Amino acid sequence: MANAHTSTFSAFKATLKRDLLIAYKRKNDVVNPFMFFLIVASLFPIGVSPEPERLSLIAAGVLWISALLAALLAMDNLYRADYEDGSLEQLLLSPHPLFFMVLAKNIAHWLVSGLPVVLVSPLIAYMLSLPDGSYHVLFLSLLLGTPVFSLLGSIGVALTVGLGSRGLILAMITLPMSVPVLIAGTLAVQQTQNGASLLGFLAIMGAMLLFALTLAPLASAAALRISVN
Partner 1 sequence: MWTWFHKLGSPKWFYDISGRWLPWLVACMAVCLVVGVIWSLLFVPQDYQQGLTNRIFYVHVPVASISLAFFPLMAIAGTVSLVWKMKLADVVVKVAAPLGAWFTALALASGSIWGIDTWGTFWVWDARLTSLLLQFFLLIGMISLRSALEDTDAAAKACALLSIVGTINMVVIKYSVLWWDVLHQPPTNFTVDNSQPNGPEIWIPLVIMFLGVYLFFVISLILSVRNEILRRERRAQWVSELAAQ
Partner 2 sequence: MDQTTSATSKQSPAQNQAVLLQASELFCERDDRVLFSGLNFSVSRGQVLQIKGGNGTGKTTLLRMLCGLNQDFEGTLYWQGQDMAEQEEAFHSALLYIGHRVGVNKVLTPLENLRWTCRLQREVSDEQLMSALAGVGLRGFEDSQCHALSAGQQQRVALARLLLSQATLWVLDEPFTTLDVDGVALLENLLQQHAARGGAVLVTTHHNLQIPGLEVLTLG
Give the residues lining the site for partner 2 (CB under 8 A).
Answer: 1, 4-6, 10-11, 14-15, 18, 21-22, 25-26, 81-82, 84-87, 89-96, 225, 228-229
Contacts of 59 (CB under 8 A, 6+ apart): 125, 128, 129, 130, 131
Task: Decide: 103 and 144 in contact? Cβ < 8 Å.
Answer: no
Closest CA to 155 of 141, 145, 169: 169
Pick one of 57, 65, 175, 189: the residue that binds partner 1 (CB under 8 A): 175
What residues between 101 and 160 interact with partner 1 by CB under 8 A? 155, 159-160
Q: Which is nearer to partner 2, 40 or 112 (CB)?
A: 112
Calpha distance 146→143 (Å, rounded): 6
Total residues binding partner 1 (CB under 8 A): 28
Calpha distance 152→177 (Å, rounded): 7
Q: Which is nearer to partner 2, 210 or 226 (CB)?
A: 226
Among the candidate windows 21-29, 34-42, 57-65, 183-191, which touches partner 1 by CB under 8 A?
Answer: 183-191
Q: DSSP assignment of 48-101, as one string?
A: T---HHHHHHHHHHHHHHHHHHHHHHHHTTTTHHHHHHTHHHHHHTSSS-HHHH
**Nearest-10 crossing angle of helices 52-75, 115-127:** 160
Find which of partner 1, partner 2, none residue 90 binds, CB within 5 to 8 Å per kind.
partner 2
Q: Least separation, in Å, of the C-beta of 40 and partner 1?
A: 20
Q: Least separation, in Å, of the C-beta of 127 and partner 1?
A: 26
Find which of partner 2, partner 1, none residue 121 binds, CB within 5 to 8 Å per kind.
none
Find which of partner 1, partner 2, none residue 199 binds, CB within 5 to 8 Å per kind.
none
Calpha distance 143→10 (Å, rounded): 26
Find which of partner 1, partner 2, none residue 4 binds, CB within 5 to 8 Å per kind.
partner 2
Task: Decide: 216 and 155 in contact? Cβ < 8 Å.
Answer: yes
Q: Least separation, in Å, of the C-beta of 206 and partner 2?
A: 32
Residue 210 touching partner 1 (CB under 8 A): no
Calpha distance 18→13 (Å, rounded): 8
Please give the residue ranges that form the binding site for partner 1 (CB under 8 A).
155, 159-160, 162-163, 165-166, 168-169, 172-173, 175-177, 179-180, 183-184, 187, 191, 208, 215, 219, 222-223, 226-227, 229
